[in-house]
Amino acid sequence: VMLQQSEPSAEVVGLDGDSETLAIARDKAKAAGVSIVFHEAMAYAPPFAAGSFDRIVSSLLFHHLTTEVKRRTLAKIFDLLRPGGTLHIADWGAAQDPLMRAAFLSVQILDGFDTTADNVAGRLPELMRRAGFADVRETHRERTVFGTLSLYAARKPL
């Protein structure tokens, strides 16, 4: 909703594998008066053709995925982007200090240690590079009650 509101001329598409989450998203979009098309599918198998997007934004998805599914998802994102397209990820990152590491334990207990290990070890940028992305960088880190939230950006080469 915020993406559509900040760029009203953009075509924003939503994707989630959970029908209940999509119902909530549809209700929020309707209440905000924005037009967003939502699709139910897994991130590694979306219903879109290669080169369909200029930008892909992911918010708090990757810490739910195993390493292998992270790799598959990043490979699919790379395929979906047009040359020069950008990927933006907001997700849990490497702990800044022992306090942030301790705070992240609550997320790991709820979401699983196997799926969150790459995040807390700071491996998302390397996984992005291995998928073919260039200019991979962490653009911001935020201390939260649940640990370090990191913002990442990357580009598909021309």
Q: Are 58 and 87 in contact (CB under 8 A)?
A: yes
Give residue 49's pLDDT band: very low, low, confident or very high (50, 70, 90): very high
Task: Please tell me what DSSP assigns to residue 17.
Answer: S
Residue 37 main-chain phi, psi, to 5 deg: -90, 125
Tens-digit pLDDT profile for residues 15-33: 999 999 999 999 999 999 9
Q: Are 152 and 122 in contact (CB under 8 A)?
A: no
What does pTM read for this prediction? 0.93
- Over residues 91-101, the mean pLDDT reads 95
All residues at 6 or more sequence positions from 2 whose CB lies less than 8 Å from its CB, including other chains: none
* Nearest residue to 19 via CA among 39, 48, 3, 37: 39
- Over residues 68-82, the mean pLDDT reads 98
Measured from the Cβ of residue 49, the count of other Cβ atoms closer than 10 Å reads: 9
Can you tell me which residue has the tokens 């880190």?
Answer: 141
Give residue 42's pLDDT band: very low, low, confident or very high (50, 70, 90): very high
Predicted confidence at residue 92, as pLDDT, reads 97
Measured from the Cβ of residue 30, the count of other Cβ atoms closer than 10 Å reads: 12
Give residue 103's pLDDT band: very low, low, confident or very high (50, 70, 90): very high
**Amino acid identity, position 71:** R
